[in-house]
Amino acid sequence: MGNDGGSIPKRRELVKEAARPPTAAEIKQARAESQDHAWNHCPLSSKPLATPVVSDCAGALYNKDGVLEFLLAEEGSAEKVEGEKVLGGRVKGLKDVVEVKFDMDVEADKDKDRVAGAGRRERWVCPVTRVEMGPQAKAVYVVPCGHAFAGSVVREVEEKICVQCNGAYAENDVVPILPTLPADVARLALRARSLKEKGLTHALKKAPGGKKRKKTADASSADAKASTTSEEDNKTAAKPEKKERQADNGIKNASTAYLTKKVLEEQEERNKRRKLGQNDNVQSLFSKGNQKADLANSKDYMTRGFSIGGK
């Protein structure tokens, strides 16, 4: 080929190292970097996290203004499309997020130049243990109040009452922040599914469409019940009316019955007298059964009274 002094490189000369799966140390390092970024940056706006901070049903953290910008963005815009990819359909409104109330270290707030995380100047600590909450320490928050604690504090408290606001909560309403364990991720997914079936959001509020449907169903059932009741009332009202009509047609008063009977008898007697008072001329106009006609009356006036003899 060529005789131009060039060379054709072979594959073993180009590929120095064969592809291999990442090691456990590399996976752990990549996960730690991802957790550190998620604890300090909003995935929607890529800005540092700053109070107020909200969380969805998966335990992810967002800036509240970033969520508002996503909700107010026009359908089909680049911000809306990118936000849908990040959220995965978990946030449709502010009812789908809970504002997480972190307790901040006062000393860190005084020192404005101090950075608690990569890009975040607020240092979040547990209000009970005063341990900094971040990628190295497991943290949870309680729904619906949103107070955040170290994971060990919630496990040690026997009564399901928030130590900050004394608000009661259920065991399933303790949400881990940015969970990494598969058991925690599966539990949060199951919780979100069960709340959706009950018509509730992550913040334990009524879903936007569930209340209206329920009102419509209640209104239709109430209308059907009212129509059934009105029909029954109409039937009940019709029965006494029918009885009243029967009472009007039937004569129950003794004096009225006597007068009516007397009038009927007089009318019948009058009819009899009218029939008897008819003369013979009038009666001759009517046929009397099967009587034969008189042949003499059938003769004309010229031959009446005379007889014609036979041959």
**What residue ranges do the domains of the chain occupy?**
31-208
* Burial of residue 83 (number of CB atoms within 10 Å: 0-12, 13-18, 19+): buried
The letter for the amino acid at 74 is E
Q: State phi, psi for 258 to the nearest 5 degrees.
A: -65, -45
- Alpha carbon distances (Å) from 161 to 100, 171, 200, 299: 17, 10, 21, 131
State the Cα–Cα distance between residues 95 and 79, nearest whole angstrom.
Answer: 20
Q: Which CATH number fits domain 31-208: 3.40.50.300, 3.30.40.10, 1.10.3720.10, 3.20.20.10?
A: 3.30.40.10
Structure tokens at 283: 């009666």
pLDDT above 70 covers a percentage of the chain that reads 67
Q: Residue 65 above 90 pLDDT?
A: yes
- Alpha carbon distances (Å) from 191 to 158, 178, 205, 227, 306: 22, 16, 14, 41, 131
State the Cα–Cα distance between residues 71 and 210, nearest whole angstrom.
Answer: 20
- Residue 145 contacts residue 162 (beta carbons within 8 Å): yes
State the Cα–Cα distance between residues 124 and 293, nearest whole angstrom.
Answer: 135
The letter for the amino acid at 150 is A
Peptide linkage before 144 cis (omega within 30 of 0):
yes
- Residue 124 contacts residue 148 (beta carbons within 8 Å): yes
Q: What is this structure's pTM?
A: 0.60
- Residue 140 contacts residue 177 (beta carbons within 8 Å): yes
The whole-number pLDDT of residue 12 equals 75
- Summarised one tens digit per residue, pLDDT across range 161-218 is 998 999 999 999 999 999 999 999 999 999 999 999 999 999 999 988 754 545 555 5
> pLDDT class for 5, splitting at 50, 70, 90?
low
Find, among 156, 140, 157, the residue nearest to 148 by Cα. 140
Q: Residue 283 above 90 pLDDT?
A: no
- Would you tell me the crossing angle of helices 64-72 and 78-87 to the nearest 10 degrees? 130
> pLDDT class for 143, splitting at 50, 70, 90?
very high
Q: How far apart are the first and last CA of the chain?
A: 165
